[in-house]
Amino acid sequence: MTIALPDGRRSEIAIGGRIRDIGKYAGEKRVFILTNPEVFELYGDAFPAGAAVVLLPPGEKNKTLDTVSAAVSRLIEEGADRESLIAGVGGGIVCDMTGFIASIYMRGVRFGFVPTTLMAQVDASVGGKNGVNHEGYKNMIGVFNQPDFVLCDTETLRTLPERELKSGLAEVVKSALIADAALFEYLENRLGDILERSKEVLDFIVERSLRIKAKIVEADEREAGERRKLNLGHTLGHAIEKLSDNAFLHGEAVGAGLALAARLSNRLGLLADGELSRILRLLTAAGLPVAVPIEIALLLEAAEKDKKKQGDSLHFVLNKGIGDSIVKKMSCGELRALFGDAG
């Protein structure tokens, strides 16, 4: 699968790719791998021979410019130059930071990802968004820059903690709600197989989710229109992460955001009662929260500081049935009034 952009840039996505395949993209150049200690312990033996390893501290709280600065210092110490290849091996945080670091190091070097979590395979590693947080606000500092390659190996999901697997499912559900009613039904019917980590089923949901995202990114790389749909559940999800001090994993916060968006869509007459029930039922069965102990007024206050805010308005993504979505520009006051009844 390839993301092909109008200016000729291409990003290759290989479902079934392996960590050891990184070397194929480096040619004669040296490889620098950014990862975290846990992933290194699990998969370090598979890293290409001669690759330099830079360890990033785990956790959302460390997705900061301070960590970027420390990683850049290590790259300089190890001799990384403009011809080097930087590869991020790990989850969404590793991928986000690797893409950002590679984009600014010496004004930009080649990079790629081997995502090792479901969240990273279906979302964070694909699409060209790279960035870090600032004072708790998600990805407030970042760039658009496409990786050369993404190697998605669902075998790595066998070592993933169950909570992380369920967190990643939120992004798969999001993809289905945006543009694929058949995928939503598949998730309803095969959820048990997903949680049991059937490779066949995991390969299917990863590929299906990536095809949805690739099509949207090709049409709108920089989020001027259609790509805004990928933010379904995220406007309030990011607020939940911030106000809970990251007590919720990203996917858990997105799951709650999807539930809030579905309830609002139902109130606005876009989503039938039966469809709302199906969404809430699937999220619950997947182990994702459909409510959080944070007042909606506080969530909206945090959302008003989101990087996607334009003036006094937010582009809020709503469900127009299962498998269809729309982006509605609403003032913050309008959202507060609507959620006062629907939240």
- For the annotated catalytic residues, the residue numbers are 107, 129, 171, 213, 223, 227, 231, 234, 238, 250
Q: How many CA atoms within 13 Å lie on the side-chain side of 236?
A: 30
User: How is residue 104 written in tokens?
Assistant: 């600014």
C-alpha dihedral (339, 299, 57, 252), degrees to nearest 10 = -30
- DSSP conformational letter for 100: H
Token digits for 276?
């709302």
Q: Is 3 helix (H, G, I), strand (E, B) or coil?
A: strand
DSSP state of 64: S
CA distances from 183 to 111, 198, 281, 307 (A): 31, 16, 15, 30
d(CA 6, CA 2): 13
Helix (H) or strand (E) holding 323: none
Q: Do residues 320 and 270 lie in contact, with contact meaning Cβ atoms separated by under 8 Å? A: yes
Q: In whole angstroms, what is the distance from residue 155 CA to residue 157 CA?
A: 5
Phi and psi at 272, nearest 5°, equal -70, 155
Report the alpha-carbon distance of residue 39 to residue 115 in Å, rounded: 10
At what angle are helices 273-285 and 162-179 packed, to 10 degrees? 160
Give CA–CA dist 261/176, Å, rounded: 14
